Structure 1
Amino acid sequence: MSMSIDRTRLRQLLSREAAESTARNPRSKAAYEAADHLFGRVPMTWMNKNAGTFPRYLAGAHGARVTDIDGHEYIDFCLGDTGAMAGHSPAVVADAVERRFREQGGATAMLPTEDAEWVGAELTRRFGLPRWSFSLTATDANRWAIRLARAVTGRQKILFNSYCYHGSVDESLIVTGPEGRGATSRPGNVGAPCDVTLTSRVAEFNDLEGLERELAQGDVAAVLMEPALTNIGIVLPEPGYLEGVRELTRRHGVLLVNDETHTFSAGPGGATAAWALEPDILTIGKAVAGGVPAGAYGLSADLADRLLRRGDLDLVDMGGVGGTLAGNALSVAAMRATLEHVLTDSAFAAMSALSARFEQGVQSGIEKHGLPWSVSRLGARTEYRFTAPAPRTGTESAAASDPELEDFLHLWMANRGVLMTPFHNMALMCPATTEADVDAHTTLFAGALAELAG
């Protein structure tokens, strides 16, 4: 028997959980109300994206646990929206950072370290790209990939998938028009430097016909994409889609850039290794340094050689593919410790198994109540959606959003000791996550559905 959501009951439950959250967190509420010198009262305005009227304030975090300043401990499935996929403050990373900063010093000396070559070699082993450079964020890595693609192709436009996520890259804030045709700026785009259609083209994920139509215009330097959409909710590639993207980009002389910042959850070499993909450039950030700001981009050997042979390109000084702190000794030391000792091949196997257990628990609840919902998994990452079948494009995924229902579930979980990613219903596993943690969510999820059913 199918269950529909009683919206009146949902709003009553949401109001109850919001009141409970406020009552449970007086110190966080007071800290938020006192933050008069912060824009939006938070260090970054996206921290206001949370269920309730104020965010919980961090006291500490270790492994798969977060503690707030009101003394509540949470099982953390958010994990910094992938930034803490290695777990919070892994001991081996903390030791490496302290050794580099306190004992060795020189965290920002603008000199290379031998750790950098080790990290480059390990990224090559995992992802296949032979030449690497570092950044502080995946956003920066994407910006630099775009510059390099334009330089080497002589073309100006970059193609993105509708409702993609590549950080705050200006060119990426583009979505398709009605029926997947045309293009417009993504709703809410802040301070666009120009009409985004001047710099970008767009096609729906899983739409090879739309992609070919855009690439045939002959002005696209690169397709910058996630192998699976993530930040609009997990949208998995249909059979043959990624192979089709690679064939079309090669046919039209377009570079392919895989952004693996979130899809790193697919395995130790991300979706690129898991699905045998062959990008020309690969970008990554967040998780690779165990919580320390770091990113990287990798290049194919042919592309790297072509760029280095270009005497007209200033790749050393003011060419726009660097930053004073990029590749600093501290970040690189953290990357080495994370990749060598924490986010290992065996760790990913265990994390993926836990994610499958999480998926099964959610699916059982959906089936018990006959909900028209779905659940999608990408390695160590699982997400439930309020539609079935699961969305196949970014636009479909955006349309499936239900803010009231999301807020209720997030507050229900948080009030009972579980944190989900505030932007959507994503749960990520880390090496410190346990089966008991997953089962706790399964029990709470079942309880939330029972409440909704009345």
Structure 2
Amino acid sequence: MHSATIGDLLDREQQRFREMHPHSAAAWEEGKQHFLYGGPSHWMRRWAGGFPVYAAEAKGAHIRDIDGHDYVDFCLGDTGGMCGHAPEAVTRAAVRQLQNGTTMMLPTEDSLWVGAELQRRFGLPYWTLTTSATDANRGAIRIARMITGRDKVLVFSGCYHGGVEEAHVEIRDGRVGMRNMIHPNGVDHSAVSKVVEFNDVGALEQALSAGDVACVLTEPLMTNFGMIPVADGFHAALRDLTRRTGTVLVIDETHTISSGSGGYSSEHGLEPDILVAGKAIAGGIPAGIFGVSREIAERLWAIVPMVNPRVRQSAHLGIGGTLAGNALTVATMRAVLEEVLTPANFELMSANASRLAEAARKIIAANKLPWHVTQIGARAEIMFMPQPPRNGADVIASRRSDLEALLHAFYMNEGILVTPFHTMFLMCPATTSADVDRHTDVFARFVDLVRGARVV
């Protein structure tokens, strides 16, 4: 049996999903009358059931929908909810700041604590707050262009850096094209982007040798195209090549902040010129951050001084916005850094991720399946291929999107939520061993389902 049988199983699970979720189905039909793609965000249409469940409440690592179903949430807002839902410290800080003013375009004393803590955790001295990691990446790219006088941004095929146009490219069939076939949007990507495969030092060296790349924008390890671990020596080569060619190194930790309290970079001694993070950093309140080294700051100040009291200051550097660094975001960010994303909680989260990964590996091995599990920090992923991919080309060649869709639909029917774009599982401080064991049981039954239909 082949893909048609997987399609039959998916049809069955989607039918079961519709029968189990009549209120969410009706809400979705109503939402399509008001929203361009059915929901407040067009991403919400991508759940494998055929429509999203509508959330009634969320607490800790669980979500309850309007049909009364409880889910163990390993999606956690695709990392935006990595602190867990409604963590008490964040709720308390948000309520207090809401009562004292949300946004004034003025700093608060909390910002002094947050700035010092960002410096301590991530090792870079100067920080700027934004409203999203996309905005932080845009700011990093703009600064890199300003100080280098170069136009191009190098990214790795299969990357994801938010809505950054320069990163909307990938290598497919040996040629550079638009990622996921999205619209080019009037941008000449050959003028602004270069793209090479992750872990390919030779291709990276060749791409940087022309001296026209302002910055390399990369995750420490790839997370959005399936988890692609970094090869031994790749980061050392990347840092050496960027320094030798005068290229700014921007490391985007938006997902990999799950690796530890200082992100993957701190855990592994990386030395970015600019570090970006977002999503989880303010406990679910929209926020992003980027930090720069002293050298980058001084090069930027040489172009745009920090303060000239005799000259009216420009409103912006082409980045930012009136809501960036608002008092509510700063207050919740302090609560996250001070009370939620602590070393002790990261230890707990990583232990649960290891527990989930090891249990899944045992089931895979017992059933002699050509699948693997990758786990780094508080994040794990089941992929339907024998070995971890080395780059985006490996993912394109081997990815089983049909099995992924079936897993997602089956999991939702069994009370497990996973980010719909991939099969990645994220832990939060409130995730328990019982939540992990619930996943192990559901995964075992998923394996029984596909083996019974002979579709592996």
Give TM-score scaled by structure 1 length: 0.95
Deviation for aligned residue 1:408:
1.3
Question: Which residue is 1:241 aligned to?
Answer: 234
The structure 2 residue matched to 1:225, chosen from 218, 222, 228, is: 218
CA distance in 2, matches of 1:298, 1:243: 21
Distance 1:216 1:163, change over 3 A: same
Question: Which residue is 1:204 aligned to?
Answer: 197
Deviation for aligned residue 1:178:
4.0
2:85 paired with 1:88: yes
Q: 5 Å matches for 1:132-211?
A: 132-176=127-171, 178-179=173-174, 183-211=176-204
Task: Return 184-193 or 112-121, whichever deviates more.
Answer: 184-193
Deviation for aligned residue 1:195:
2.0
CA distance in 2, matches of 1:249, 1:43: 40
CA distance in 2, matches of 1:28, 1:202: 41
Deviation for aligned residue 1:79:
0.3
Please tell me the residue identity of whatever aligns with 2:44: M
**Contact 1:385–1:400 (Cα < 8 Å) also in 2:** no
Question: Which residue is 2:74 aligned to?
Answer: 77
Question: Which residue is 1:53 aligned to?
Answer: 50
Structure 1 gap ranges (5+):
none
Question: Which residue is 1:447 aligned to?
Answer: 445
CA distance in 1, matches of 2:211, 2:104: 44
2:61 paired with 1:64: yes
Deviation for aligned residue 1:401:
2.7
Aligned length: 446
Q: 5 Å matches for 1:28-43?
A: 28-35=24-31, 36-43=33-40
Secondary structure at the residue paired with 2:222? coil
CA distance in 2, matches of 1:281, 1:400: 33
Structure 2 gap ranges (5+):
307-311
Query: Pairwise CA RMSD of aligned residues?
Result: 1.5
CA distance in 2, matches of 1:320, 1:442: 48
Question: Which residue is 2:353 aligned to?
Answer: 355
**Contact 2:178–2:184 (Cα < 8 Å) also in 1:** no
Question: Which residue is 2:309 aligned to?
Answer: none
Please tell me the residue identity of whatever aligns with 1:168: G
**Contact 1:61–1:88 (Cα < 8 Å) also in 2:** yes
Secondary structure at the residue paired with 2:181? coil
2:10 paired with 1:14: yes
Q: 5 Å matches for 1:289-300?
A: 289-300=282-293
**Contact 1:174–1:197 (Cα < 8 Å) also in 2:** no
Please tell me the residue identity of whatever aligns with 1:159: L
What percent of counterpart residues are identical? 48
Secondary structure at the residue paired with 1:34? helix
CA distance in 1, matches of 2:129, 2:185: 27
Distance 1:209 1:21, change over 3 A: same
The structure 1 residue matched to 2:432, chosen from 431, 434, 438, is: 434
Question: Which residue is 2:278 aligned to?
Answer: 285
CA distances 1:90-114 after superposition (whole Å, capped 9, x unpaired): 0110010000012x22x11111011
Secondary structure at the residue paired with 2:449? helix
Deviation for aligned residue 1:190:
2.7
Secondary structure at the residue paired with 2:380? strand
CA distance in 1, matches of 2:264, 2:25: 40
Please tell me the residue identity of whatever aligns with 1:126: R
Distance 1:283 1:338, change over 3 A: same
Please tell me the residue identity of whatever aligns with 1:18: Q
CA distances 1:391-449 after superposition (whole Å, capped 9, x unpaired): 11022223333232112111211111111111110100000000111011111101110
Deviation for aligned residue 1:46:
1.2
Secondary structure at the residue paired with 1:377? strand
Give TM-score scaled by structure 2 length: 0.95
Question: Which residue is 2:422 aligned to?
Answer: 424
Task: Return 135-144 or 41-50, whichever deviates more.
Answer: 41-50
Deviation for aligned residue 1:335:
0.3
**Contact 1:232–1:424 (Cα < 8 Å) also in 2:** yes
Deviation for aligned residue 1:316:
4.1
Question: Which residue is 1:259 aligned to?
Answer: 252
Question: Which residue is 1:372 aligned to?
Answer: 370
**Contact 2:119–2:125 (Cα < 8 Å) also in 1:** yes
Deviation for aligned residue 1:8:
4.2
Question: Which residue is 1:115 aligned to?
Answer: 110
CA distance in 1, matches of 2:47, 2:183: 20
Please tell me the residue identity of whatever aligns with 2:97: R
Question: Which residue is 2:385 aligned to?
Answer: 387
